[in-house]
Each structure stands twice: as C-alpha cells, then as structure tokens.
Amino acid sequence: MERRTLALLTSGGDAPGMNAAIRAAALLGLSRDLEVLGVRQGYVGLMAGDFVPLTRADVTGIVRDGGTVLGSARCPEFHTPDGRAEARRRMAEAGITDLVVIGGNGSLTGARALTAPEELGDQVLRIAGIPASIDNDVGLSGLSIGVDTAMNTIVDACDKIADTASAHGRTFIVEVMGRDCGYLAMSAGVAAGADLVLFPEAGRDDEQVVEVVVKTIESARRRALPPKRVLILKAEGVRISPEQLKTRVEDRLHADGHRGALVETRIAVLGHIVRGGRPSAFDRVLAGRLGFAAVRALLAGETRVMAAWAHASAPPPGARLSEGDPHCWIVTLDAVLAETARLLDGTSPLVRWRNRVFAEIESVLNPDA
C-alpha cells in the first residue's frame, strides 16, 4: 500500500481561523494513519524543506488562536519554475504525497502551478486548497476563512468610533483592508450602520468619490433625526488616500458654506488590526469543515481542487458535494482561479449583483444624496 504523508501549509496574509483549519486537517489525516507534517513559513519553507511533524498534541489546543502556528510568508521566488522545482524536490525527499494549501488567491495560484502536469511529470503529489483570506476574493467560495472575524473586528471598531463621532457630531472615514475586493467594507458597513461604503467595484474615480462623500454628509446633516455622526467606510481598494479624501471633502464643505463640526472630518485606518485576534466561533467551524472536506478529497484521490463553502441550494458551477457536509463543495483550482479573475476585473455576475444591491442600499440610506 502507498505510504502517504500529508503536509499542511499556510501562505500569504494570515487569516483568523487558519489554525482551526490546520487542526482539522491534521486530526483527520492522523486518524487515517497518514504521517502529517507542517510546513513552516508557507512556500518559503516548502522550498527550504522546513518541515515539522505534527501530532495530535501539537494541534489540539490551537483552535482558538489567531494568526497561524506554522507561520506564513509571501514568496516571489515560488512563482518561478526553478523555485517550484526546488519545492517539489524537497517534498519528494521528505516523502510528501499530499499537500493542503491554506491561503488566498496568490497561494492557490501557487498550488495550481506546483502541480501543473507539465512540471510535475511522474511525481506523486496531490494538492487541495482551503480558501483563507480576510479579503473574501477567492472565487466559487461564498466565504473564506477569516472574513467573519475581520468583519466583527471592523464592526466593533466602528461602534467605538461612532461613540466619539456622535459626541462631537463629526464625520469619520474608516479605511479597512480587503486589497482589490470591497466585500469586507460592504458587509461590515451594513452591519455597522455606515452612511456610505466606498468600494472599488463601484468604479468611481477620485472626483466621484469626493462628490458622493460630500453629498452623503450634506444629506445626513439635513436630516432632523440622528445619526449625529456620519460614518463612511472606505475599502483600501478605493485608491484615493484617506488623507487626500479628508482634505478634499473638507475643502468642498467649506466652499459650500458649512462651518465647524459640519466640516470636521477624522480618519481611522484599521490596517492589520483587522487581520488579528481570536477567530470567531463561525470561523472556527468554517475552518474545521473546510479542513475536513479538503483532506477527504485528497483521501479519495482527488487533486488540484479546493474545498469551497456554499449553500446547498446554490452550488458553485461544476462543483461536487463533499461527502457528509451539505455546505462544503469540491471545485477545481482551474475553475476557482478563473472565477477569482472575474471577481477582480468586475465581470463576475456576483460582482454585478453586489453593485446593484449597494446602489439600492445607497439610495435608501441617502435618498437625496
């Protein structure tokens, strides 16, 4: 019988819940008599042969920890054929037959390249991905690990900011991570009761961004009822810097004859805070279920796939239901990365739908903006 060794790797920007995925994947592998190894520092460790055995004791208690116990890295060398050849050589040396890659868009692109048939030759190496990125920009998975925790962190921060903003009757522009994807800002904005969400998919240029912010502030101030504060959530993918936006908005408000608190705008850039902290209960469960689904797929002999999260009634196109879990689907990495590209260039029907929903939300929040 083939002796199988399963390696687990976390890569790219860490996301809360990665440890829960490591734990689930390791425990399932160990329970099926696989040798389980952790790869330190993502693809950097894969190229250096930096492998460490994982036992039940190593992973049992990590479910509640943020970050990743294996470490992570961004690794440009891995995107070269030579870098990947070195990684495959190290893996063959260590007897690794199966690899789980836990990460976002770039990490899954690396996973697909690592096992490209023309590079792999006759080496036995099965690979399965697990979407983990606070950006939620991985195609075909309704959610990635880390998004729920990040959203909760943003909402908590906005609630706090809203207290001081209300006390002074100020406007706050809060910038959140998400790279080129506006999902995090959009969903957190709804949950935080923001007056406006600026997200890249809306396609506004700088001037249009300034314009919609000014109109939103004027519209919110005209209303007799609270909010006494104006909260604007800006995705980092909207390229105008928060400082520039603040200056240009204040100048415009001045020019329109507003004075004092009506003009005063403050900014808060949440940055990496959004990526840290203990994973939410939901992220732990999501990570556990996706971790199981990915290893189950490998055990069944599948490769170049990803475990995806979707409601049973709306499976991703071409997906196969993961045995035993009505919300976990197995999709090919090719299909995932094709849809990811569409999400990012705006041609995915999902992006169009989000834009329509947000146009409607804006028109309800600021009817006269």
List, by residue number, the catalytic residues: 135
Measured CA to CA in angstroms, residue 249 lies from 100, 210, 240 at distances of: 47, 6, 12
Report, in Å, the least distance between residue 14 CB and ligand F6P. Answer: 8
Contact residue for ligand F6P among 139, 178, 291, 316 (CB under 6 A): 178
Instruction: Indicate the helix (H) or strand (E) that contains 330.
Output: strand 328-332
Q: Return the residues of window 313-342 that contact ligand F6P according to CB under 6 A.
A: none
Report, in Å, the least distance between residue 67 CB and ligand F6P. Answer: 12
Stretch that binds ligand F6P, among 49-57, 95-103, 176-184, 252-260 (CB under 6 A): 176-184
Considering the complex, state which of residue 65 and residue 135 has its C-beta at the smaller distance from ligand F6P. Answer: 135
3-state DSSP assignment of residue 194 = coil
- For the purposes of burial, counting CB atoms within 10 Å of the CB of 258, is it exposed (0-12), middle (13-18) or buried (19 or more)? middle
C-alpha–C-alpha distance, residues 34 and 95, integer Å: 11
C-alpha–C-alpha distance, residues 263 and 254, integer Å: 7
Report, in Å, the least distance between residue 141 CB and ligand F6P. Answer: 15
Is the distance from CB of 20 to CB of 284 less than 8 angstroms?
yes
Stretch that binds ligand F6P, among 22-30, 132-140, 156-164, 313-321 (CB under 6 A): 132-140
Report, in Å, the least distance between residue 351 CB and ligand F6P. Answer: 17
Q: Where are the alpha helices (DSSP H) in 5-80?
A: 18-31, 42-48, 56-59
Nearest to 187 by CA among 215, 178, 60: 178
Q: ∠8-3-115 over CA atoms, to 5°?
A: 50
Is the distance from CB of 237 to CB of 180 less than 8 angstroms?
yes
Site string for ligand F6P, 252-281 (x = CB under 6 A): -----------------------x------
Contacts of residue 101, defined as CB under 8 A and 6 or more positions apart, other chains included, come to: 9, 11, 107, 108, 110, 111, 127, 128, 129, 130
Report, in Å, the least distance between residue 210 CB and ligand F6P. Answer: 23
Contact residue for ligand F6P among 65, 98, 135, 218 (CB under 6 A): 135
Stretch that binds ligand F6P, among 75-83, 130-138, 238-246, 283-291 (CB under 6 A): 130-138
Count CB neighbours of 345 within 10 A: 10
Instruction: Indicate the helix (H) or strand (E) that contains 153.
Output: helix 147-168
Contact residue for ligand F6P among 27, 177, 194, 196 (CB under 6 A): 177
Stretch that binds ligand F6P, among 173-181, 190-198, 284-292, 309-317 (CB under 6 A): 173-181
Report, in Å, the least distance between residue 7 CB and ligand F6P. Answer: 23
Contact residue for ligand F6P among 5, 68, 97, 133 (CB under 6 A): 133
Report, in Å, the least distance between residue 75 CB and ligand F6P. Answer: 12
Place of tokens 């810097």: 241
Contacts of residue 306, defined as CB under 8 A and 6 or more positions apart, other chains included, come to: 108, 128, 129, 130, 131, 138, 140, 141, 294, 330, 331, 332, 333, 336
Contact residue for ligand F6P among 88, 170, 179, 246 (CB under 6 A): 179
Q: Return the residues of window 184-243 that contact ligand F6P according to CB under 6 A.
A: 236
Stretch that binds ligand F6P, among 86-94, 127-135, 244-252, 289-297 (CB under 6 A): 127-135
Number of residues that bind ligand F6P (CB under 6 A): 10
Q: Work out whether 136 is an interface residue with ligand F6P (CB under 6 A).
A: no
Considering the complex, state which of residue 275 and residue 304 has its C-beta at the smaller distance from ligand F6P. Answer: 275
Residues binding ligand F6P (CB under 6 A): 13, 104, 133-135, 177-179, 236, 275
